[in-house]
Amino acid sequence: MVLVAALAGALGGGEVAAAVPEREELRAAMAELTRSGAAGVQVRIHDEQGTWTGSAGVRELHGGKVPTNGRFRAASITKMFVSTVVLQLVDEGKVVLDDPVDDYLPEFGLDRRITVRMMLQHTTGIFNYTGEPNPDGTVEAGIPWQGKQFERERFRTYSPEELVELALAKPARFEPGTAWRYSNTNYILAGLLIERVTGTPHATQVRHRILAPLRLHDTILPGTRTGIPGPHAHGYYAYQHQGRLRVLD
């Protein structure tokens, strides 16, 4: 398994720090990432040679070494946790993969051809609330994710219901089950389905069914908290505004 975290942002220097055995090609690639604009890089490898950890660049723009045991936001890796809980509920007979999602979440008026299986496999055709590319190269906007508008609203909290309603206000991208397109909206619906079936927050189910049994003590579901507990490097977003570069931590 290879786990790589590259922290985007302004150019950061720094020597590569790594444990033996030495992996010169990988260390060179990590250093190249920092020269290309990543503030820092963190790598952990488990293979037949053992465990290898390394880092390059800086922890923050003003300095500090990237920790090799650093924590970072899992982002869409959380979809694996959510889908696992849904499939466990299927195994328990509480959810049926080929039932309409509308049976579980009727308040949204979903197309009844959309099944739980399609939701997990990104074949629903439901618009991605973070935005979608159009065939002509333009982008159909979702919630703000770049530029000045993102800076103004980056700490806004959307309810899951708001995100689903935003997505459903857009035309479907294709007929259910006829194509594949990645859509974060599918997994907002999956989380809501878990909550409807179990009567508890989806985060509670993930902790109870996955994190606790596997003793993933350093994995948390932070909710609306903006900080990261424990050692970590900072990630950055940079954009041009009125001829000046703005960098957000």
Specify the pLDDT at position 17: 47
Q: Which of 102-106, 187-191, 226-230 has the lowest mean pLDDT?
A: 226-230
- Give the model's pLDDT for residue 107: 98
The answer on pLDDT for 12 being more than 90 is no
User: What number is the average pLDDT over the span 28-38?
Assistant: 92
Instruction: Please give the residue that has the higher pLDDT: either 139 or 195.
Output: 195
Residue whose structure tokens are 């979809």: 79
Per-residue pLDDT for 139 more than 60? yes
Q: Would you say residue 160 has pLDDT above 70?
A: yes
Indicate the CATH number of 77-211 among 3.30.420.40, 3.10.110.10, 3.40.710.10, 1.25.40.10: 3.40.710.10
By the 8 A CB rule, do 56 and 70 touch?
no
Ranges of each domain in the chain = 2-72+228-248, 77-211
**Rounded mean pLDDT, 21-34:** 88
Q: How confident is the model at residue 134 (pLDDT cuts 50, 70, 90)?
A: confident
* The dihedral formed by the CA atoms of 155, 74, 58 and 40, expressed in degrees to the nearest 10: -110
Q: Which segments of the chain are extended strands (E)?
A: 2-8, 17-18, 38-47, 50-60, 63-65, 132-133, 139-140, 237-241, 244-248
| Residues known to be catalytic | 76
Q: Does residue 207 have a pLDDT over 90?
A: yes
User: How large is the average pLDDT for residues 82-98?
Assistant: 98
Q: How confident is the model at residue 214 (pLDDT cuts 50, 70, 90)?
A: very high
Contact yes or no for 61/236 (Cβ under 8 A): yes
Please list the alpha-helical segments (H only) found in 65-201. Answer: 78-91, 116-121, 147-153, 160-168, 184-198
Confidence of residue 32 (pLDDT cuts 50, 70, 90): very high
Stretch 214-233: mean pLDDT: 90
pLDDT at 240 over 80: yes
Q: What's residue 146's pLDDT?
A: 86
Average pLDDT, stretch 117-142? 94
**What's the CA gap between 8 and 41, in Å, rounded?**
9
Q: Residue 156 pLDDT more than 70? A: yes
Q: Give 9 or 200, the one with higher predicted confidence.
A: 200
Is 197 in a helix, a strand, or coil?
helix
Residue 19 has pLDDT above 60, yes or no: no
- Across 4-18, 86-100, 148-162, which has the greatest mean pLDDT? 86-100
Q: Mean pLDDT across the stretch 85-97?
A: 98
Q: Check whether 21 has a pLDDT greater than 70.
A: no
